[in-house]
Amino acid sequence: MAAEMKLIQGEFHCSLDERFRLSLPKNLVEQLDIVGSGVVLAKERPGAISLWGGEQWQARHEADIGILQGKLDAGRLDDRIEELRQLGRLMSTRHTEVNLSSTGRFSVPQPFRSFLGVEASGDVMVVGAAVCVEVWNPEAWVAYVGDQIPDFRQLLDELSS
């Protein structure tokens, strides 16, 4: 049986401080239920990074690695070495652990700052993305929502039926 998950929701306009620290809105901190524990920051798409509970991320990551390792051990990836190397490079740079303070504040590391595309003291959008919290460059967020909102009803109907 899968562990109970709460849907994380909300959209908040926030600002990084001059040292690239972000304080999550109290509402999201309460929904995350992981304050004071290790969390994982992941690159999602240009202009967006996500924040996951460490245990949740680790379980998903280990499952993916296990599948790949099994295929590698069985020789099923022998003819896909370049793709495997590409995946390895992306996996190596995609995520990092960060500390989330008791107030819900964390520092965005340099490679993630560049990927997010915001400056120190810059604005960001913080969004509950059902299973994680996402931090978006505001321009990227507006473009994403504009592209995706026409499909909202269909997606909701598919996932809720």
Residue 135: exposure state from Cβ atoms within 10 A (0-12, 13-18, ≥19): buried
pLDDT tens readout for residues 131-143: 899 999 999 999 9
Going by CATH, does the domain composed of 11-58+95-160 fall within 3.10.20.10? no
Asked whether the beta carbons of 39 and 51 are under 8 A apart, the reply is yes
The rounded distance, in Å, linking the Cα atoms of 104 and 63 is 28
Give me the sign of the Cα torsion angle 52, 21, 94, 118.
Answer: positive
Six token digits for residue 142: 């507006």
pLDDT of 154 over the 70 cut: yes
Q: What pLDDT sits at residue 1?
A: 37
Q: What is the mean pLDDT of residues 7-28?
A: 93
pLDDT tens readout for residues 49-61: 999 988 888 888 8
Q: Which pTM value belongs to this model? A: 0.86
Q: What pLDDT sits at residue 26?
A: 87
pLDDT of 105 over the 50 cut: yes
150 versus 53: the higher-pLDDT residue is 150
